[in-house]
Amino acid sequence: MSVVIKPSEIEQNSMRIIAEELAERGISLPPEHETVVKRVIHTTADFDYAANLAFTADAVQKGVAALASGCGIVSDTNMVKAGISKPALGKVGGTVHCYMADPNVAAAAKEAGTTRAVMAMGYARTLHPNAVYAVGNAPTALLKLSELIRDGFRPALIIGVPVGFVNVVESKEELLATCEEYGVPAIVALGRKGGSNVAAAICNALLYAAADLQDPEDRNWKTN
């Protein structure tokens, strides 16, 4: 007779293991960052994120509050968009958008000789000036967001976690410094690591807190 293990039990056991391994490594997470860091480790099985996730002051609190008020999310990839929990987003009345495939963005990028990511961020700014911006792939999107912030843009939160080797480290460092200078909340994965799955995991950690769904039993595992 096979034993049926509920997905909620798998997550609970996984989080217990993560907590135990963090303790074994002598890592004590700030309470305000714990939910986000553990969610990213749960998604990646990579404990380096306990050290390389950087947070501006009250970034988690401000991100949760914004999402709880129905704030939208803008992503730089459809992978991030697909990975965000739609039931949790629906519970707080939010929406998620990605403009990388928008024909207007594609045409503008071609005409300007730049990336779609750059144009998508500028395009989204006009439509969603107070959204959470979650970037998991394009460092050029982070550079554009830094430029927009210096020009007066004030989104609810920026999640900057692109992965790769070219301009990735530099774009993250510039974004973090810019957000700290202008008081824009940010969560950034310093170094080369990151990705769309990390961006979605951070969004979900914030959404679960905003929607009071941190206990997986309350989600009935209709979310990721």
Mean pLDDT for the stretch of residues 39-63: 97
Q: Give, in order, the Cα–Cα distances in Å from 14 to each of 45, 122, 140, 223.
A: 10, 39, 34, 16
- What angle separates helix 116-127 from helix 103-112, to the nearest 10 degrees? 130
User: pLDDT at position 68, please?
Assistant: 98
pLDDT band at residue 223 using 50, 70 and 90 as cut-offs: very low
Q: Alpha-carbon distance 115 to 123, whole Å?
A: 13
Tens of pLDDT along 93-120?
Answer: 999 999 999 999 999 999 999 999 999 9
Please confirm, yes or no, whether 42 is among the known catalytic residues.
yes
Tens of pLDDT along 144-183?
Answer: 999 999 999 999 999 999 999 999 999 999 999 999 999 9
| Dihedral sign for Cα atoms in the order 33, 51, 180, 100 | negative
Structural contact between residues 168 and 194, judged by C-beta atoms closer than 8 angstroms = yes
Tens of pLDDT along 62-81?
Answer: 999 999 999 999 999 999 99
Closest to 183 (Cα-Cα) out of 144, 154, 217, 214 = 154
**Other C-beta atoms lying within 10 Å of the C-beta of residue 20:** 10
H or E segment at 66? helix 59-68
Task: State the Cα torsion 128-49-34-6 to the nearest 10°.
Answer: 90
User: pLDDT at position 4, please?
Assistant: 54
Q: Where are the domains of the chain?
A: 7-218
Q: What is the pTM of this model?
A: 0.94
CATH number of the domain located at residue range(s) 7-218 in this protein: 3.40.50.10230
